[in-house]
Structure 1
């Protein structure tokens, strides 16, 4: 007994045994021609479907490229390995950094300069794990504006 027959309780019907169920007997060249026509039709429909799906996906996708020397944030996830080291999931930031890009590797991967605390991690990351760091001049505190007295106190002015 064949496995198909044991599982389904009937014999498996293939194109070679259709004549047993009362249908007309087909010769081998005809079966091959019909099968190749069906395969070509299926391949055409698959190509059309794939191109349609690709166009939908490309509408949401954006090309991101970085230059050597740029600074980027690194996404904190379990796939990067950083997420496992951080304890609280709710209060941790989604990105850490900024880190400098050392080299582009391939089309979508970059080697970044990691600090010594993350030296046990692989230093090459996919572009989806990186976000460009844009420096904001308002975040920088000028050293001329800070006046420290001799007793190491700072005067604060009311706002």
Structure 2
């Protein structure tokens, strides 16, 4: 794997990591110590480093070209952000899970449900939506790819088939001490509790009393 040329960089991972290709089993079967002892490789270090620097720069350029090519292919399937304004009605993409007990099938569930109202914009392509009946209660933040404009009369809005719920768990509220009348109060052990007759402390007290 490390000796195969990569499509993104044009070089092998071993060459970009170590500055040379990995040795093959045929290379490792020969002893090159005599060659290293007889030859002087110091003058060759500088050209080797220059070649490695040029190779890394070339690998970066090839990688950037590969990223641009992949981005071009992906952008063909994307649509531009329509730029929703606060107060507009949209439909949200649903992800229904099939449930045989409840008689729910993902195949027959609507792909988009709503309508919902745009409350606020987050970033370049995310929007905060809410139920038109409860505009003050925010359901969540959705990407523009999960929203489509609602086409219909705004005077008579249909109810969602499967209303979206607010994402995440509700905040944990710690009740104040004594605020809940139904919660029993914690009572500690009484300080002046007489010891039991069969306990060790009780026997010691009895013996001391006899003395």
TM-score, normalized by the shorter chain, greater than 0.5: yes
Tell me how far apart the structure 1 counterparts of residues 124 and 91 of structure 2 sit (CA, whole Å).
19
Q: 1:51 aligns with which of 68, 82, 88?
A: 68
SS at match of 2:48: helix
TM-score (norm 2): 0.46
1:71 to 82, 89, 104: 89
Q: What is the correspondence of 1:26-41 to structure 2 with a 5 Å cutoff?
A: 27-41=44-58
TM score, norm. by length of structure 1: 0.59
Give 3-state SS (helix, strand or coil) of 1:123's partner: strand
Kept in 1: contact 2:129–2:140 (CA 8 A) = yes
Alpha-carbon deviations, 1:133-157, whole Å to 9, x = none?
11169xx7xxxxxxxxxxxxxxxxx
Q: In structure 2, what is the equivalent of residue 143 of structure 1? A: none
Gaps of 5+ in 1: 1-11, 78-82, 141-159
Task: Confirm whether residue 103 of structure 1 aligns to residue 120 of structure 2.
Answer: yes
2:32 aligns with 20
Separation in 1, partners of 2:70, 2:88? 34
Give the number of the structure whose residues are more often helix, by fraction: 1
User: Which of 46, 59, 82 is matched with 1:42 structurally?
Assistant: 59
Q: Deviations over 1:2-49 (max 9, x none)?
A: xxxxxxxxxx99558989386984633222211111111111111222
User: Structure 2: which 5+ runs fail to align?
Assistant: 1-13, 24-30, 157-211
Separation in 1, partners of 2:130, 2:139: 10
Paired with 2:139 and 2:45, the residues of 1 have a C-alpha distance of 58
SS at match of 2:32: helix
**Are 2:142 and 1:130 equivalent residues in the alignment?**
no
Could you say which structure has the larger radius of gyration? Answer: 2
Alpha-carbon shift at residue 55 of structure 1 (Å): 2.5
| 1:93 aligned partner | 110
> Which of 1 and 2 has higher RCO (CA within 8 Å, sep 6+)?
1
Give RMSD over aligned pairs: 3.7
**Aligned equivalents of 1:47, 1:93: Cα separation in 2:** 41
> Judging changes above 3 Å, is the alpha-carbon distance between structure 1 residues 32 and 91 closer, same or farther for their aligned structure 2 residues?
same
